[in-house]
Amino acid sequence: MKIVITDYEFPNLNPEHDAFKNLPAYDLVEAKCTTPEECAVACKDADGVLNQWNHLTADVINAMEKCKVIATYGIGVDKIDVEAATAKGIYVCNSPDYNKVEVSNHICAMIMALSRQLFQSDRLMRQDKYGWMYLDNELHRPNVQTLGFIGFGRIARQVAQKMSDAFQMNIIAYDPFLTEEQVASGRGKKVDLETVMRESDFVSINVSLTKDTYHLITKKELEMMKPTAYMVNCSRGAIIDEHDLYEVLRDKKIYGAALDVFEVEPIPSTHELMTLDNVIMTPHSAWHTRESMWEMQWGAADQVAKVLAGQEPDHCVNLEAVKKVLGK
């Protein structure tokens, strides 16, 4: 069985080999692709594919002659044309649980760094400006502030629990797929999107990137925010219109933002957001610890191993549709 890894940034592939150890025989190919065209060539005769950053377009998938499963390193499958894969009877799998604590911790850290203006304090001290009086913005106790979520899934609920338990923050959430009771079970109050934007002191984006959430947040929504509010995004960069966010931050219509994700990654050093001093940026690293990396690698590879062994995958975004195509 030929398994192709289109690209990866891990120190080794030990987790993959561990996940594949019960396969009767396999050839693990490190393709090191950087373009869809390279992916199409590398994956043409693959039985299974693992992918991290490449875009597996319809052309790439249609070039696959015998692929049974594609697994992404991570949760989001926005880099894979799921519709094209489904039409060819290819399972598309992910690793939904690998970062079960890391991203929520990162979001909490970003909220507190913004709240305490830690990065600005550091910069000011290096300029011989010592004291709270040099800070641009007023500081407030978290227990008088509201944390609003756009999307209230597993990670958002962890953040809500941590910030409400530790800092007594008020929690509100917009999630059209959840009931009031489901939001309440996560320590929050269900509200509409406009209410989240208008009433929150911190807005955390926690939705997947789909055609419906692409540029969900534009200048219209950003200008609803309090002038003292902050935006936090550890989900996907394209959920916010980055130019609109830049203009709102540049004009100081909100206090600031903390971003771990960007529309184009790596974000270019010449990007307009790089010129602002009221933005904290991290390099799509909210997920990362030694433990989460192992779980992500092993979890994605395990889905490939299951399918190639004739089993049903555990974490598949198109399971029922593919079973229908395959007549199962």
pLDDT digits (tens, 9 = 90+) for 245-289: 999 999 999 999 999 999 999 999 999 999 999 999 999 999 999
Per the residue annotation, which of 106, 157, 187, 284 is the catalytic one? 284
Our CA angle for 174, 236, 318, nearest 5°, is 85
Give residue 97's pLDDT. 86
What span, in angstroms and rounded, lies between the C-alpha atoms of 92 and 207? 19
Give residue 290's pLDDT. 94
Give the chain's radius of gyration (CA, Å): 22
Per the residue annotation, which of 236, 242, 295, 315 is the catalytic one? 236
Query: Mean pLDDT over residues 222-234, rounded?
Result: 98
The predicted model scores a pTM of: 0.88
pLDDT tens-digit series, residues 16-28: 999 999 999 999 9
Task: Answer yes or no: are the C-beta atoms of 173 and 191 closer than 8 Å.
Answer: yes
**Structure tokens, 38:** 């390279």
Strand order in the sheet with 2-5: 27-30, 2-5, 48-51, 69-72, 91-93
Helices (H), the chain: 14-19, 36-42, 58-62, 82-87, 102-115, 118-125, 154-167, 180-184, 193-199, 219-222, 242-250, 290-308, 319-325
SS3 120: helix
Active site residue 284: yes
pLDDT tens-digit series, residues 47-72: 999 999 999 999 999 999 999 999 99
Residue 198 has pLDDT above 90, yes or no: yes
Give residue 100's pLDDT. 78
Give residue 148's pLDDT. 98
Give residue 28's pLDDT. 97
Our CA angle for 20, 22, 24, nearest 5°, is 95
Per the residue annotation, which of 30, 180, 265, 312 is the catalytic one? 265
Q: How far is CA 159 from CA 178, 184, 205, 229, 277, in A?
A: 17, 14, 11, 18, 25
Active site residue 250: no
SS3 22: coil
pLDDT tens-digit series, residues 119-145: 999 999 999 999 999 999 999 999 999
